[in-house]
Amino acid sequence: MTNDIIDKFIKSKTQKNAKVTIYFKQRATVKGVFIQTKDYEELKSKNFWRIVSEMKVEEWEKTKDNSLARIYNGAEFTRLSEK
């Protein structure tokens, strides 16, 4: 997927910090939250996205520790879903 499509989905379809299911071309599906950090615009321009997995969301909401997130390449996404 392109960064424009992903950004549009994030801005229009999801509530802030809403859990999203991300489907990949060659890896298992991931459920998590897209987070916006200081480097969000730079990462977005390169089609990279910082995502906190579903298992770590609660801890991230308390601490806002960016080390709980992983960076994924948007080119590997095949589909995004709010469910």
Domains of the chain as residue ranges with CATH: 3-81 (2.30.30)
pLDDT of residue 47: 97
Q: Could you give the CA distance from residue 33 to residue 20 in angstroms, rounded to a whole number?
A: 6
Q: Could you give the CA distance from residue 45 to residue 65 in angstroms, rounded to a whole number?
A: 23
Q: Edge-to-edge strand order for the sheet containing 30-34?
A: 69-73, 48-53, 30-34, 20-24, 77-81
pLDDT of residue 12: 77
pLDDT digits 0-9 by tens, 22-77 = 999 999 999 999 999 899 999 999 999 999 999 999 999 999 999 999 999 999 99
- Overall pTM surpassing 0.85 (yes/no): yes
Mean pLDDT (whole number) for 6-33: 87
Q: What is the largest CA-CA distance in the chain?
A: 32
Partners of residue 23 on adjacent β-strands = 79
